[in-house]
């Protein structure tokens, strides 16, 4: 973001600045509002387009110029040699269930093999690795619903007793 601001600063103050970027839900739940407010203070006439999805879906758009940049979770299998990458932060992921579930003591993944799961739809990154881990622990792909909608994930966990794995920073809707 700092590099983008520096590039835009070099432009004429009369120029109409257009910025488009992609981000995962985690960013929307954490620092997006503050980041956009600060950006609009510095560049009040800027036209901003934001897209929410997993990083893997943004890579083609970055490469062909439809997006200026993207924020997301990296993994070893992503081919990023042609892109500039800057670490921003780390986030811990946790298993989340509805408050209506009762569980005492230690729970293993294997003990959850008959449960219904909902995960973000992606073929790369952290969730791809998580899918492999779940399957190694006996959780069948038939018990996993994949979606690109955070609202759907929350709804299935809160109202249909599904389990999910999300960043800690995104758990606040479960505590209202």
| CATH number assigned to the domain comprising residue 120 | 3.40.190.10
Cα separation, 21 vs 95, in Å, equals 29
Residue numbers of the domain that contains 162 = 93-175
CB-hemisphere CA count at 13 Å for 135? 9
Residues β-bridged to residue 61: none
Q: Is residue 156 part of a domain?
A: yes
Take residue 120 and report the two structure tokens written for it.
């973000």
Say what the pLDDT of residue 174 is: 65
Q: Are residues 98 and 171 in the same domain?
A: yes
Mean pLDDT of the chain: 83
**Helices (runs of H) and strands (runs of E) counted in the chain:** 6, 7
Q: Is residue 158 part of a domain?
A: yes
**Residue 133: C-alpha distances to residues 18, 74, 127 (Å):** 41, 17, 10
Cα separation, 163 vs 176, in Å, equals 18
Number of domains, the chain = 2
Q: Looking at residues 21-26, what average pLDDT do you find?
A: 85
Residue-wise pLDDT tens digits, 84-113: 888 887 778 889 988 887 777 778 889 999
Q: Are residues 153 and 122 in the same domain?
A: yes
**Residue 47: C-alpha distances to residues 13, 34, 50, 61, 110 (Å):** 14, 17, 10, 18, 49
Say what the pLDDT of residue 141 is: 93
Q: Looking at residues 47-53, what average pLDDT do you find?
A: 92
Cα separation, 15 vs 25, in Å, equals 31
Say what the pLDDT of residue 175 is: 60
For residue 147, which of 168, 125, 164 has the smallest C-alpha distance? 164
Q: Are residues 57 and 99 in the same domain?
A: no
Task: Examine the pLDDT at 80 and tell me if it is beyond 60.
Answer: yes
Cα separation, 9 vs 158, in Å, equals 45
Q: Is residue 79 part of a domain?
A: no
Q: Are residues 65 and 97 in the same domain?
A: no
pTM: 0.71
């Amino acid at each position: 973001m700092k590099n983008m601001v520096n590039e835009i600063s070099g432009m004429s103050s009369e120029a109409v600045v257009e910025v488009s970027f992609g981000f995962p839900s985690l960013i929307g739940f954490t620092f997006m509002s503050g980041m956009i407010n600060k950006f609009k203070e510095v560049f009040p006439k800027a036209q901003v387009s934001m897209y929410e999805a997993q990083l893997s879906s943004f890579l083609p758009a970055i490469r062909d110029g439809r997006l200026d940049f993207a924020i997301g979770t990296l993994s070893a299998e992503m081919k990023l040699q042609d892109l500039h990458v800057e670490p921003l932060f780390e986030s811990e992921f946790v298993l989340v269930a509805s408050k209506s579930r009762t569980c005492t003591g230690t729970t293993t993944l294997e003990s959850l093999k008959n449960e219904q799961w909902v995960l973000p739809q992606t073929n790369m990154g952290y969730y791809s690795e998580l899918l492999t881990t779940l399957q190694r622990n006996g959780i069948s792909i038939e018990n996993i619903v994949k979606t690109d909608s955070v609202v759907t994930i929350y709804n299935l966990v809160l109202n249909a007793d599904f389990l999910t794995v999300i960043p800690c920073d995104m758990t606040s809707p479960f505590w209202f």
